[in-house]
Every structure is written in structure tokens, then in C-alpha cells.
Amino acid sequence: MKVSKTLLIKNVTIYSVYLILIWSFYRFLFRFPDQIEELVIKPILWLGPIFFIFLKKEKAKITSLGFTLKNLFPAIYLSIGLGSIFVIEALAANFFKYGGFSFGANIGNLPVMTSLGLSFATAISEETSFRGYIFSRLFIATGNELSANIIQSVIWTLIHIPIAFFIWNYTLTAGVLYLILTFVFGIGSAFIFTRTKNIFGSIFLHVLWEWPIILFR
């Protein structure tokens, strides 16, 4: 992908500001069922601009977002290894929130397999946006993995503030802990993406990270 660093920074900035604003307004104003949100609304609002605006501006292919079969198995192995750490973190968060372990599932009335499918749908939209697009462009533009990773992880954390406090109604302590874990996950997901250039590892890691939060929050 041959495109100026200035254009990449400009596109990432516009997209990030757009995403934070539009998703914050959505969280404040609307509350649709998870199926509609994850299968319809989020793909349109999150992925639409990437595929129909930014990729065209950059004259880039979908493979630049990590959609490839190359390094697929190393990506999966890495995600399993790192995912086990996130499971432990989720258990720790559950313990500190409730003063002990509380394993009441929080998946509503949806069947387990439906909830798992929605988790994959969520992961595809969010990982494509943050690791496939925002992080990869920042890395190319800056040439510095650490800086690009920290910046995208901060943006990633910011976009989770509304759901933590206005949808899940976390206390300040629980909310801050959740946001810290969210930031750590952003770092880990980009770490895997950098080493494999494969978005499927990040998607699988996302599901491994999300399910302990769903089941134990």
C-alpha cells in the first residue's frame, strides 16, 4: 500500500473522531436488541466508512486490514495463549467487584450459541476497525509499533466509556478496572496483529476476552 503518511494520519484522525462521536450518541440515544446492534447497526456505522471511503481514498485492498489466510495458525496459537491471560484478568475483575466469585451468566435470554455468534460479529467489526484499520495505519505512518499501539488503545478505551457507565451501570471503581482491562486488551490484540498481519487472530482473541466479561461481570 503506497500512500502518504499525512493522508493516513488524516484518515485515522477523521475516522477515530467520527467513531467516538457517533457511537457515543448512539449509546446515549438508542437501545436496540443485541442482534440488531451487532449484525446491522455496528457493521454499517463502523465498517461502512472504512470499506466505502477510506480504502478507496488510499487505493488499498482488503488484505491491508489483515483479511488473509497467511499466518492463520500462528495467529490462532498466539490468541489462545494471550486469551488465557485475559480469562484470568476477567476472573480477577469479577472477584474484586463482588468481593468473591460470582458466576451468574449475563447473556440475557439468548441461547449460548447465539450469544457466541454475536460475540464473533462484534469482534469482526471492532477488530477490523481498531487493529485492522486504525492501528495498521498508525503503524505505517509513524513507523513505531509502541506509539501506534498506545494511541489506538487509548481510542479503543475511550469508545468503551459509554457502555461501562451508562449501559452496564458500573460503579466508578468497577468501571475504571474494566477500562484498564480494555486498554490492556487493545495492547495485546495489536501485538498479535503486528506479528501475524492476520486479523483473524485478533478476532479470536477478542472473543476469548469478551466471554469472561459477559459471563462473570
Per-residue model confidence as pLDDT tens digits over 42-58: 999 999 999 999 999 99
User: Is pLDDT of 105 > 50?
Assistant: no
Mean pLDDT computed over every residue of the chain: 88
Asked if 214 contacts 119 with a C-beta cutoff of 8 angstroms, the reply is yes
pLDDT at 188: 93
Instruction: Give the tens place of pLDDT for each residue, 182-193.
Output: 999 999 999 999
Work out the percent of the chain whose per-residue pLDDT is above 90. Answer: 63
Answer yes or no: are the C-beta atoms of 179 and 164 closer than 8 Å: yes
Distance CA 129, CA 194 (A): 15
Owning domain of residue 206: 5-216
154-164 pLDDT, tens digit each: 999 999 999 88
pLDDT number for residue 129: 98
- On the question of pLDDT at 88 being above 90, the answer is no
CA atoms within 13 A on the CB side of 52: 7
Mean predicted confidence (pLDDT) in 16-31:
93
Question: What is the rounded distance in angstroms from the CA atom of residue 151 to the CA atom of residue 156?
Answer: 9
pLDDT of residue 146: 97
Confidence of residue 208 (pLDDT cuts 50, 70, 90): confident
Average pLDDT over residues 69-75: 93
Does the reported pTM lie above 0.85?
yes
| Number of domain units in the chain | 1
Would you say residue 107 has pLDDT above 50? no
Residue 97 has pLDDT above 70, yes or no: no
How far apart are the C-alpha atoms of 101 and 193, rounded to whole Å? 32
At 108, the pLDDT band (50, 70, 90 cuts) reads low
Cα–Cα distances (Å) from 121 to 5, 23, 34, 116, 168, in that order, read 31, 17, 11, 9, 20
The grid coordinates of residue 63 equal 488484505
Per-residue pLDDT band at 117 (split at 50, 70, 90): confident
**pLDDT value at residue 192:** 95
In this prediction, residue 111 has a pLDDT band, given cuts at 50, 70 and 90, of low
**For residue 200, what pLDDT band results from cuts at 50, 70 and 90?**
very high
